[in-house]
Chains A and B, each alone.
Chain A
Amino acid sequence: MKRKLLTGNGAAAWGARLAATDYIPAFPITPQTEIIEALGNWIDTDEMDARMVTLESEHSMITSAGAAAATGVRVFSATSSQGLLYGMEMLYTVAGWRAPFVLVNVSRGLSSPITLEPDHNDILAARDSGFLQIHCSTCQEVLDSTLMAFRLGEDPRVRLPVIVNLDGFYLSFTREPVEIPDETAARQFVGDYDPENIRFRASSPVSQAVAVLGGSPYSYFRYESHLAAQNGLAVYDEIATEFAERFGRSYTAIESYRTDDAELVFVMMGSFATKAREAVDRLRENGQAVGLLRPRLLRPFPAQHFQQLLAGKKGVAVIDQNISMGMGGVLHSELASALYGQPESPRILLSFIGGLGGRDISLEEFFEISAVTQRAVEEGQVPPPRLLYTESELREVRKLQAVAKVERDELGEKK
């Protein structure tokens, strides 16, 4: 074990290296590129015994990742944002092949307008693809989750590809002290990849990913994937327990922070949840019983874990760093469906949207979210979903618009 300052991208690359990945199909995209550069350099200096190939698109990258996994080697790949969407057809396709591999997604807001900074619309677009999803909030967690992701996906009860998600910039380019596990300890934990019956060999020909006729066989295979994904809940808990025993770091399906005696609970995913954590501490100092839940596992969705952790709470504020146009926050909807009709579920479940395209969520905003939620509890009324935006932000945008207008008028005059 050694301790080193690593970026989130560096931590992801270390995860792939320590898992003894055989094959890395790659394609550059900001803010993920550092991952494949690090792996490429290790391969060039013989520190890593793997093969890396740069494809001509993410669509091809995901195809070759799935095809190599279906041939029987351990595969790692990484992408981000537009790249994840460009490969979307193949995410759905290769998940159905039931050939596990690990894909890191470095979250970044989607076009339009085009941007580089993070939110979760990219990864949530892959929500229903069949890939399992682990969401990280620290660089250490990125490395550890990558190792756990191989175990999870390759487990005979699961056999599905897994996405490990980290936020662009806030994690991808932020250096944190990371404990890098010993190579042998990591290898022992991850184990060798056993492709089982999903592989191509001359002596035992097989047809994979064939067409079906009719809804009956189609439904059968789709249900199989769903049931396998659900198996992932228990398997994840097992793996996380074993990981904690071996390495001393615990990663429950939902991270729970000061919720035991909390009356109000924030629910958030990803690195921005560390901001919520800070807000919880400050609110606690002020005598308010507030806690935080952060789902690490989004697929399979830990519905029962949420039901237990939120039983008896008075109010919940879900802060979504994503937006489903015409509906609102995705995590809010998911949580609502998990809690609905459960006898001990909190009746007050509020939705806030914030952090789109890397927009900060300030401590004051968390205080306001807490106050609004407290008021809703007292009044017994749930207010409509709230889009976080400040007057000063709006004023800044108005300034940009004013500049745009002046420039346009100026150019128009010259014509």
Chain B
Amino acid sequence: MTEVKATFYRRMKDLPSTHLLGTGTPMCSGCGGLEALHQVYDVIGEKSVFVNAAGCMTLLSVYPFTPFRGSWLYTAMASAPAGAQGVRDALDILLEKKRIPPEENMEVVVLTGDGSAYGMGLSATSGAMERNLDFLYICYDNEGYGNTGQQYSGATPHAAKTATSKGPLGFPGFKKDLFSIWAAHKPAYVATVIGTEPVDLARKIEKARSLKGPRMIIALAPCPPGWDFDPKESVEIGKLAVKSGVWPLKEYIDGKVTHTKIPRQRIPVEDYLKHQGRFAHLFEPQCNDALINEIQKKVDDYWDEVQKTTSLDKE
């Protein structure tokens, strides 16, 4: 079993009070991805190299500015994990050959959106995991190709309206289960997080930091322009995603998946969907009960399965 020390982050007041990531970035107001990244960066710290793939956050570092106190390397859309491989291997070589002292070492962190993580970059990610690369991967998942105007991606949920699924039923496909795809590689750690659950997020990043090998994080990133809601609703929508059970908070470690926050009384998915313009066609001009029920059933089935396996564990 992997040894994980007791968490430092038990409640909100334990979270870092000084924030490392600079302000004034070109991210949209209410960006759920940036919210998560702020919290992640506070735990990771400045002794890090962020290896980025094409996406919204590529615009964090625009010459000659950066909000990062540590280092940054932009690669391309498909190969950020391979960039992390090169940086990690080179640092290891420099350490082994004693060309740099140990204190010059850094955590190598891949930062990509869902477009790269769920699609174009999946092969490079699979390769990095199979090579047991020692790195952190942060995917900010806003469920579509957000930087180009929210076309549907492999991360887009069923029925969502996007720039390329504007029909009355929205996106006909289903959100790819990246968590399971990643976990099937048996990496050191996989977790889902969301910026609206900061203690859960900080504990998971802390846990990931204490491990070696591939440590994979997916952060659901409520996206005001892409999901079509007022930026001030961003935190609320994130909370509803968790309370409705649409975004399960969980982690994979040592072959076992554990849910870190099980909503006791799940609110109807309707309460989550109706706040977002991308699902407005489910409610206007008339309610599409069939489609809403279909979405609800998927969520219910998921949690029924969780309950079954959890009770099996107890037996």
Contact = CB atoms under 8 A, between A and B. Distances in A.
Interface of A: 22-23, 25, 49, 51, 53, 55-57, 59-61, 63-73, 89-90, 93, 200-203, 205-213, 217
Q: Which 6 A-B pairs have the closest CB atoms?
A: A67-B86, A60-B82, A56-B127, A64-B86, A71-B90, A68-B86
Nearest to B51: A67
A208 B124 contact: no
A202 B82 CA distance: 20
B140 to A, nearest CB: 17
B79 A63 contact: yes
B74 A73 contact: no
Contacts of A213: 62-63
B131 interface: yes
Interface stretch (B100-108, B219-227, B241-249): B100-108
Contacts of A61: 82
B66 to A, nearest CB: 5
Given A22-B93, A209-B75, A67 B126 contact: no
A22 B90 CA distance: 8
A125 to B, nearest CB: 17
Contacts of B83: 63-64, 66-67
A288 to B, nearest CB: 52
Contact of A212 (B51, B62, B78, B99): B62
Given A25-B86, A60-B124, A211 B62 contact: yes
Contacts of B61: 207, 210-211
Interface residues of B, number: 47
B139 interface: no
B68 A205 contact: yes
8 contacts: A22-B97, A23-B86, A51-B89, A51-B92, A60-B81, A60-B123, A67-B73, A200-B91
Nearest to A24: B89
Contacts of A217: 63
A205 B70 contact: yes
Given A61-B82, A67-B83, A68-B89, A56 B104 contact: no
A61 to B, nearest CB: 7
A69 B47 CA distance: 19
A62 to B, nearest CB: 8
B63 A212 contact: yes
Interface string B55-83: 00011011100101111111110110111
| Residue with the greatest number of chain B CB neighbours at <10 A, chosen from A51, A207, A210 | A207
A73 B86 CA distance: 10
Contacts of B31: none
B94 A72 contact: yes
B87 interface: yes
A65 B75 CA distance: 12
B76 A63 contact: yes
B83 to A, nearest CB: 4
B276 interface: no
A23 B69 contact: no
B127 A203 contact: no
A205 B68 CA distance: 9
Contacts of A55: 82, 85, 127
Contacts of B76: 59, 63, 89-90, 93
Of the candidates A51, A71, A217, the one having the most CB atoms from chain B within 10 angstroms of its own CB is: A71
A98 B158 CA distance: 44
B73 A208 contact: yes
Nearest to A201: B104
A200 B106 contact: yes
A281 B59 CA distance: 60
Output the residue of A22, A64, A209 with the most chain B CB within 10 A.
A64
A23 B66 contact: no
Contacts of A59: 76, 78-79, 82, 124
Given A53-B85, A60-B124, A64-B83, A73 B94 contact: yes
Given A60-B124, A73-B93, A202 B87 contact: no
B233 interface: no
A209 B84 CA distance: 14
Contacts of A206: 71-72
A68 B47 CA distance: 18
Contacts of A23: 86, 89-90, 93
Given A23-B89, A23-B93, A67 B82 contact: yes
A201 B126 CA distance: 27
Nearest to A203: B104
Contact of A67 (B47, B58, B68, B90): B90
B228 interface: no
